[in-house]
Chain A
Amino acid sequence: MKTTLIIAFLITAFAATAFTFKGNDDKKPWPVPDAAKNKKNPVASNAASIAAGKELWSTHCKSCHGAKGLGDGNKAAQLKTEPGDFSKSDTQAQTDGALFFKISEGREDMPSFKKKVPDDEDRWNLVNFTRTLKK
């Protein structure tokens, strides 16, 4: 009986603490207005665009999102919201317009890049680069 109680206590304690080991909050859904979601990408996804996007990624995005967009940048652990794994379908299934919206507007930990990357073309280049992160 005593052993059973101890085991039951340990299982309960483990179950209770299991949810506190997570470093970032659960990802909240990020709704994108239809107009933004349906916006067409005017920039062709060619080598020049991807190279430009990669350079911008390296300067502005890599520190949180990681070199390959896996959400493992050196600042990621300090963030309230998990930066996400961009190689997976929940990012790659989004439209170019939706990605462009999120880069431009930002939300909470994610800054708005409308001013830091003021040219629309550059933010579309980032979208084109993000597509190359797909596994």
Chain B
Amino acid sequence: MRKIFFYSAGMYSRLLLLLLLTACCSSAVLAQDSTAAADAPVAKKKQYTKNTFVANYIIDNQTVMVPVKGTFEFDINHRFGTTDHGWSDLFGIFGGANMRLGFSYVPIKDLQIGFGANNFNMQVDWSLKYAILKQTRDNSMPVSVTYYGNAAMDTRERNSSINIATTSDRFSFFNQLLVARKITEKLSVQAAFSVTHFNNVDGYYDSAKNVLPSMKNTHLAIAFSGRYKISAKTALIVNYDQPLTQHPTNNPHPNISFGIEMGTSGHAFQIFAGNYGYTLPQNNNFLNQNDYKKSQFVIGFNISRLWNF
């Protein structure tokens, strides 16, 4: 069975653009609402729940948090090799690693834009995160809802061993809607539904010489995350990601991850173990072949440094 590449048209690129435009339009509508509120004679300022999460990340997923306007953030995401080789590579720490260096900025209230570079397939990524709804203290809004989307480009030089024929083949997209609730001062939970799209997937010839895709281009998944504060600056964090789409082959495995988060005035640190070994959510959701049943976990960390301008 000879592998060839198989790609679909960029209709999902147009869908992403539509989603992004919708997010921007929502921002404009909210601006109008706040102006109207300011004109009202008795305008009580809405009190939002604080610190549902204290970082942009919860292990491999995003959180509903968008930092305050003017925040510039530098992120280091690092994932070591799998732990199942034991001491021979110090449980993956001396094995291969995936890493990402990312930057993000909040130019206007509740909107964050980001850029990152990843060593896996030399991908670069651009992202956008918008806090659509925020949980209020009086429970008139019981949850926070945030949209996160990104596009990633495989920037490797074209050669015969890489399945890149056109520029469109290089792109993948990830869109996610996050819904979270701060239940108590110590406990926050989040659910997130995502759509991953790869413009290009591997294909193969069947016995009748027909070209078949090894996977579908679009993949749906759902994730559940939780954070439990154990001291003023430290919390336990957990994640479960469940793939929803069934593919012809190479079905990605679910992810279980758990770790510790520590926060200071200008930094957030997370150290954890999980099955997801990539630094981009589309790669994790679409390509993860680490199986928790085979103890294929990966140790990793996220470091974020925040500046307020």
Contact = CB atoms under 8 A, between A and B. Distances in A.
B264 A118 contact: no
A46 interface: no
B86 to A, nearest CB: 37
Given A115-B68, A115-B70, A118-B68, A59 B308 contact: no
A63 interface: yes
A116 interface: yes
A55 B265 contact: no
Interface of B: 50, 68, 70, 232-233, 263-266, 308-309
A103 to B, nearest CB: 13
Nearest to B309: A115
A54 interface: yes
A118 B309 CA distance: 12
Contacts of B70: 115
Interface in A104-129: 115-116, 118-119, 122
Contacts, number: 22
Nearest to B229: A55
A54 B233 CA distance: 11
Contacts of A115: 68, 70, 308-309
B68 A59 contact: no
A54 B232 CA distance: 8
Given A54-B232, A115-B70, A115-B308, A63 B264 contact: yes
A118 B109 CA distance: 12
A59 B263 contact: yes
A58 interface: yes
Contact of B233 (A58, A116, A122): A58
Contact of B232 (A55, A63, A119, A122): A55
A60 interface: yes
A59 B50 contact: no
Interface in A45-103: 54-55, 58-60, 63
A131 B233 CA distance: 22
A63 B264 CA distance: 9
Contacts of B308: 115-116
A60 B232 CA distance: 11
Contacts of B265: 59-60, 63, 116
10 contacts: A55-B232, A58-B233, A59-B233, A60-B265, A115-B68, A115-B70, A115-B308, A116-B308, A118-B68, A122-B50
B70 to A, nearest CB: 6
B106 to A, nearest CB: 11
Nearest to B68: A118
Given A58-B232, A116-B265, 12 more contacts: A58-B233, A59-B232, A59-B264, A59-B265, A63-B264, A63-B265, A115-B308, A115-B309, A116-B266, A116-B308, A118-B68, A119-B50
Nearest to B185: A51
